A and B are shown apart, each in its own frame.
Chain A
């Protein structure tokens, strides 16, 4: 019987009279890579900070690795690795000095060896004397990840780790995350890149402080119950204009020469698109609903709820 790595209920956080996180419940199984998705300012960072003991919640309870998030912050800090959104190691220390500092704070045994192995794994051994501030974005991110896992945490929380990093570095980064998860590490990663969401075992979608969808990518797409059709042809721009506001049409997005049209009411959508296709001489075809379509739909819904 293993307890989930993260199990929080009704977490609430207010800054002044603004409720940033509103009764969010979240459960992450051990060994799982959980995606934490949501638009900018949706409360992802705040929720992560609440869970690793960096903020005091205004309501709710929860356990992280079996430790109470309200009373047992010390234990959580020892067993969790947290990688902040912004590079937050010391830019005026060298790579090696930063790692030594982290190793000391976690009271690691064999500090010198651990730091050397980490540097070698990173491929930064020859550059260990360089100031961390001189590293490029991709290297900073790799250094930060290495520093966060050096103390062998049981849970890793990554807050938008790949913001501003090139596609190659992003792929390498995700390979590393999967390697770590295969060794039994639980990972919670926040992102708003859809391709990254698809690399997670399960995703949790938060919008304006509330959790609005959860499950595997396939489940989330299925549960959304959306119908997508693609319109192709010469006059797609005109088709888009005519489709705006038509019955059953919720989203219209141009992708190159094609138009993705998404809606919740499949029958009405198809009827509208068929009519417009006839008028503009374009062709329509059924298509798979993508995760991105679902998120945009969810964002729109959440905004409606706010109003």
Chain B
């Protein structure tokens, strides 16, 4: 007699499934570990109202009015002047590179006009590539600055000398979110496909039993790695063309910088990604494990790289952690070049960081690669 549901049979199936789940240590560890780690990580790291944003101050005459205003701005918690005495040119480079989010310029006649009660003005330039980052800081700006000024001037003067604050939203004056998201998406899409495809590279050979044959023939580890990785560079190139054309044609994203800087940056990034994927495939035993490791890497890199949430809004430790993801450096690079027109020199730091990833990851992959079946 066959019943639709026999508890003896169901029990046998459950027991078998549980045993298999427990045998696969990596999966088991991930099921337990991932929720915990990610909850702690993202719970503390993500902040949509970023504070302590780095700013540069351009103030040729540092008088008491200027100092009062600066300390008032810092007291709001939104600004942190990492370059309190920059020249206009230095400040321009810092905002282009993404080192600072604001440049506060106090004109040299600021103090004089404030004493005369002559409506002084300051200029605040904000990096608006990510429109959400600067909004809080900008909204508090006007009142805070004029109150500070009034206090310093003794509060005796009439309202006639109200401070005028000029705000320039740089790079993305209309605050269009796509400007920030689409170049970032290029990085995220490349990361997902490149890492995942190459992560399967070696495990597929192992699972199908072709690894033994491949190893018995005279191919060196470097040749095998390049042979696995280079075809995906081609796949990546196609993706890049599609995304770049679409971002221009459909989303109308400005491409201010030189195309070759963009392409070179993408090339180094994709190289880092495919080698990372290959490294994953040297450490995982099955394709399933390779997939899991890829996702384990993927989620934090999206959360902490500044793609989804403002990088500058994260606490220091999370920013440090974010530095270990190639995506973080790529996002800085691509946004600087595409939206701000940064040249190769300005983004050299990000390029170098990506180059270091390529180097370290290739070395690790070559060392990890097992020449034997041991």
* B244 interfacial contact with A, CB 8 Å: no
* A84 interfacial contact with B, CB 8 Å: yes
* B215 interfacial contact with A, CB 8 Å: yes
Residues in B lying within 8 Å of A, measured CB to CB: 208-213, 215-219, 371-374
Asked if residues B373 and A84 are in contact (CB atoms below 8 Å), the reply is no
Residues in A lying within 8 Å of B, measured CB to CB: 49, 52-56, 73-74, 77-78, 80, 82, 84, 86-91, 102, 105-106
List 10 A–B pairs whose Cβ atoms lie within 8 Å, in order of A's numbering: A53-B372, A55-B372, A73-B371, A88-B208, A88-B209, A88-B211, A89-B213, A91-B208, A105-B219, A106-B217
Name the B residues within 8 Å of A78 (CB-CB): 218
Asked if residues A86 and B209 are in contact (CB atoms below 8 Å), the reply is yes
Asked if residues A56 and B210 are in contact (CB atoms below 8 Å), the reply is no
Name the A residues within 8 Å of B215 (CB-CB): 54
CB of B366, distance to nearest CB on chain A (Å) = 16
Closest B residue by C-beta to A46: B373
Which of B213, B218, B219, B371 is within 8 Å of A88, CB to CB?
B213
Name the A residues within 8 Å of B209 (CB-CB): 84, 86-88
Name the B residues within 8 Å of A91 (CB-CB): 208
CB of B289, distance to nearest CB on chain A (Å) = 20
Asked if residues B210 and A88 are in contact (CB atoms below 8 Å), the reply is yes
CB of A171, distance to nearest CB on chain B (Å) = 25
CB of B203, distance to nearest CB on chain A (Å) = 15
CB of A153, distance to nearest CB on chain B (Å) = 11
Further pairs besides A80-B216, A105-B217: 4, Cβ < 8 Å: A88-B209, A89-B210, A102-B217, A105-B219
Asked if residues B216 and A77 are in contact (CB atoms below 8 Å), the reply is yes
Name the A residues within 8 Å of B208 (CB-CB): 88, 91
Q: How far is the CA of A49 from the CA of B216 in the complex (A)?
A: 9
Q: How far is the CA of A77 from the CA of B372 in the complex (A)?
A: 12
CB of A62, distance to nearest CB on chain B (Å) = 15
Chain A CB within 10 Å — which of B210, B215, B218, B219 has the most?
Answer: B218
Closest A residue by C-beta to B373: A54
Closest B residue by C-beta to A79: B218
Asked if residues B210 and A54 are in contact (CB atoms below 8 Å), the reply is no
Name the B residues within 8 Å of A55 (CB-CB): 372-374
Q: How far is the CA of A56 from the CA of B372 in the complex (A)?
A: 7
CB of A60, distance to nearest CB on chain B (Å) = 15
Which of A49, A77, A86 is within 8 Å of B217, CB to CB?
A77
Q: How far is the CA of A80 from the CA of B208 in the complex (A)?
A: 23
Asked if residues A54 and B372 are in contact (CB atoms below 8 Å), the reply is yes
Q: How far is the CA of A86 from the CA of B216 in the complex (A)?
A: 14
Closest A residue by C-beta to B213: A88
For the complex of A and B, 9 pairs with smallest distance between CB atoms: A88-B213, A82-B216, A77-B218, A105-B217, A78-B218, A86-B209, A88-B209, A88-B210, A54-B373
Q: How far is the CA of A73 from the CA of B215 in the complex (A)?
A: 11
Closest B residue by C-beta to A86: B209
Asked if residues B210 and A52 are in contact (CB atoms below 8 Å), the reply is no
CB of A3, distance to nearest CB on chain B (Å) = 22
Closest B residue by C-beta to A84: B212
Q: How far is the CA of A59 from the CA of B371 in the complex (A)?
A: 18
Closest B residue by C-beta to A107: B218
Closest B residue by C-beta to A92: B208
CB of A147, distance to nearest CB on chain B (Å) = 9
| Given A84-B209, A86-B209, A52-B216 contact (CB < 8 Å) | yes
| Given A49-B373, A73-B371, A54-B212 contact (CB < 8 Å) | yes
Q: How far is the CA of A49 from the CA of B372 in the complex (A)?
A: 9
Q: How far is the CA of A106 from the CA of B209 in the complex (A)?
A: 20
Chain A CB within 10 Å — which of B210, B215, B216, B372 has the most?
Answer: B216
